[in-house]
Structure 1
Amino acid sequence: MVSAALFWLIHVVPGDPGRNALGPYATESQVAAWNSAHGAEAGPLEGYVSWLAGFATGDWGVSLVYDVPVLGLVMGRFVNSVALGVLAFALLVPLAIGIGALQARTEGSRGDRATTVTLMTLASVPEFVIGVVFLIVFAVVLPIAPVRATDGLGSGVVLHVGAMLLPALTLALGTVSIVARTARSSIIDTTRAPFYRAAVVRGLSGGELFRRHVARNALGPTIAVLGLCLGVFIGGSAVVETLFGYPGLGELLVTATQRKDLPVLTAGVMVTGFVSLAALLATDLALAAVDPRVRLSEGS
């Protein structure tokens, strides 16, 4: 479904692929020859089958902008986005769940209300605003991070991670409020359930009570939200990667869209779609492993 929708959307957009590839000074005969050589003159069904067969066998074509094989270009950028997404996710999980658990523990207090206001304010701020503030503070006023992430990549582990830290923090802070609020609500609902009160009456307390009766029951909705965040992080954030000049898949797709590099655009969107579906599948499997109310059984 993703591939069919993608192929249809790209081919209904006005523009001649041959003209986009060869530029405004190419003759009509040169444009026609390019379209014929690259299968751009084929009908919708024939063109879709040919393109999908090539994509499935690893023949993703050649980039019109970079003049390199699309497979290596897209996968190289995808690896960079995975590294950035994993770092952002590693920052998000303990921060968001910790804030949510602390709010649940102090429900109704001034600290809980102040944290709620702060999280809601943060949720209303766009990612590019957070990123610009980080650049001004940590790259200009306090020059402890590079202005462009590419300046620190490949310069050793410490500098490499340091170059990714600001974009990773921007990604994490953009979603921390949603995850923290979900964790807070889930923990509060669990502590009000009858089985929790029964466990308290039986004498359970402290870490054992939280681990056995709170965490596994309360983490279900939080894991579902985290799965969506992971898919977005790994698939590449166009806004954050473009702002920080990070060479990821999102930044590549922005360039491909602006310059109508159709082979790169189709391959990049397909990879992003696969990543999103894989993240949803991993989320379902994690829910089945963590939540005792969800079990995968034969035939279900």
Structure 2
Amino acid sequence: MTASTSPDVVASSSATARQGLAVLRARHSRVPILIGRRLIQVPLVLLAVSILVFWLIEVVPGDPGRNALGQYATSEQVQAWNVSHGLTGSVFERYLSWLFGFITGDWGTSIIYGAPVRELILGRLGNSLLLGAVAFVILLPLAFTLGAVQARREGSRTDRTLTIGLMSLASVPEFVVGVFLLIVFSLSLRWFPIQSSIRLDGSPGEVLLALALPAITLALGYVSVLARMTRTGVLDTTRSQYYRTAVIKGLHGPQLAVGHVARNALIPTVSLLGIYLGSLLGGSAIVETLFGYPGLGALLVTATVKKDIFLLEAGVMVVGVIALLALLITDIAFVLIDPRVRLEEVD
């Protein structure tokens, strides 16, 4: 009996293995298609964003020429300044002029800084990317660990305590958390500088000290929701038939935790991570302003207050590009992580 069925078992196993490899290759082959579709969609979305941004900035009260020249400039001087900077004519003409300049790399000159907008934004963007990357590195292990601990100790005192703590943290605004960290760790303990101004040519220790408090503040602002999502994902996975089948087959330890639980538990959090990644890398205006960090968010706050339209328009567009790229990375992660995802479902 055994001898007659063994070849069938071997053939069935080989067929299953071949089918699994075929599915894996097909899933990975969708990634270039997905990237191609998104590369077509991204310019259309950015066009809509550019129209909205330009219109919103246009309706903000204030005259850019008056802001640039000061209150003592004559009306003729203000009008001449507006003409020289392409701020006259119809709204449609001004929009086309600005959009063409942005596409070609001519982002104009900052009204308040008197420097090329492109240099200002790209310089500050590098600082925001660095801060966002550090915050993301802090956020991921912290949120995943807390969520996994809660799922492991479901219904226990630890689970309830962490739930109350995370919900309380989620209800506290970022600037309150930042002020608390400044009072405790900068003013009282003097472990970190009060102003997080950085010099990239400084020592790594100085850069990390300057980044620590704003990065922790950013990470704590997102950790609550991400930890709860991780908890839900782990619980759903461990209660599934898929997980029970893996246990029955004898899988245990890291192979079960990483290959089965972690991978499936991450699926609900991927879309959330994409949104958080775009927000972190785009710069947080509140945190950067509070800590005096020279990032893109703080720069856009100044541009908004002074109505530096060239700086504000280009800065918002750059943030939009970053957000769209983060969503593209999220879509690719969906295709690679979740075998149930089809390309049509990602759209």
Is this contact kept in 2: 1:127–1:170, CA < 8 A? yes
Q: CA deviation at 1:151?
A: 6.3
Q: C-alpha distance in 2, partners of 1:151/1:108?
A: 45
RMSD: 1.5
1:260 is matched by which residue type in structure 2? Answer: K
1:160-175 to structure 2, matched below 5 A, reads 160-175=207-222
Q: C-alpha distance in 1, partners of 2:84/2:223?
A: 49
Is this contact kept in 2: 1:253–1:264, CA < 8 A? yes
Secondary structure in 1 matching 2:110: coil
Secondary structure in 1 matching 2:113: coil
Q: C-alpha distance in 2, partners of 1:24/1:42?
A: 23
User: Of 245, 254, 268, which aligns to 1:207?
Assistant: 254
Query: 2:241: which partner in 1?
Result: 194
Is this contact kept in 2: 1:227–1:280, CA < 8 A? yes
Q: C-alpha distance in 1, partners of 2:218/2:284?
A: 8
Q: C-alpha distance in 2, partners of 1:167/1:14?
A: 32
Larger radius of gyration: 2
Is this contact kept in 2: 1:146–1:152, CA < 8 A? no
- Segment drifting more, 20-29 vs 167-176: 20-29
Query: 2:341: which partner in 1?
Result: 294
1:161 is matched by which residue type in structure 2? Answer: L
1:59 maps to 2:106: yes
Query: 2:186: which partner in 1?
Result: 139
Relative to structure 1, the CA distance from residue 244 to residue 140 in structure 2 (aligned partners, 3 Å threshold; closer, same or farther) is same
Is this contact kept in 2: 1:150–1:246, CA < 8 A? yes
Q: C-alpha distance in 2, partners of 1:271/1:137?
A: 35
Relative to structure 1, the CA distance from residue 35 to residue 176 in structure 2 (aligned partners, 3 Å threshold; closer, same or farther) is same
2:72 is matched by which residue type in structure 1? Answer: Y
Q: CA deviation at 1:223?
A: 1.7
1:130-279 to structure 2, matched below 5 A, reads 130-150=177-197, 154-279=201-326
TM-score by length of 2: 0.84
Secondary structure in 1 matching 2:218: helix
1:11 is matched by which residue type in structure 2? Answer: E
Query: 2:15: which partner in 1?
Result: none
Q: CA deviation at 1:154?
A: 4.3
Secondary structure in 1 matching 2:208: helix
User: Of 57, 66, 76, which aligns to 1:29?
Assistant: 76
2:150 is matched by which residue type in structure 1? Answer: Q
Post-superposition Cα deviations, 1:158-204, rounded to whole Å, max 9, x if no partner, equal 11111100000000011101100000001101111111111111221
Q: C-alpha distance in 1, partners of 2:133/2:198?
A: 20
Give ranges in structure 2 of 5+ residues lacking alignment: 1-47
Is this contact kept in 2: 1:153–1:163, CA < 8 A? no
2:96 is matched by which residue type in structure 1? Answer: V
User: Of 69, 92, 97, which aligns to 2:139?
Assistant: 92
* Identity over aligned pairs, percent: 57
User: Of 87, 95, 100, which aligns to 1:40?
Assistant: 87
Post-superposition Cα deviations, 1:263-284, rounded to whole Å, max 9, x if no partner, equal 1111111111111111111111
Is this contact kept in 2: 1:63–1:69, CA < 8 A? yes
Q: C-alpha distance in 2, partners of 1:19/1:91?
A: 44
- Segment drifting more, 88-97 vs 40-49: 40-49
Q: C-alpha distance in 2, partners of 1:236/1:101?
A: 29
Is this contact kept in 1: 2:198–2:207, CA < 8 A? no
Q: C-alpha distance in 2, partners of 1:179/1:41?
A: 48
- Segment drifting more, 152-161 vs 258-267: 152-161
Q: C-alpha distance in 1, partners of 2:83/2:160?
A: 64
Post-superposition Cα deviations, 1:202-246, rounded to whole Å, max 9, x if no partner, equal 221221112222222111111211111111111000000000000
Q: C-alpha distance in 1, partners of 2:195/2:235?
A: 42
Q: C-alpha distance in 2, partners of 1:144/1:189?
A: 42
TM-score by length of 1: 0.96
Q: C-alpha distance in 2, partners of 1:248/1:141?
A: 26
Q: CA deviation at 1:153?
A: 6.0
* Count of residues in correspondence between the two structures: 299
Q: C-alpha distance in 2, partners of 1:211/1:73?
A: 43
- Segment drifting more, 287-296 vs 158-167: 287-296
User: Of 150, 153, 172, which aligns to 1:106?
Assistant: 153
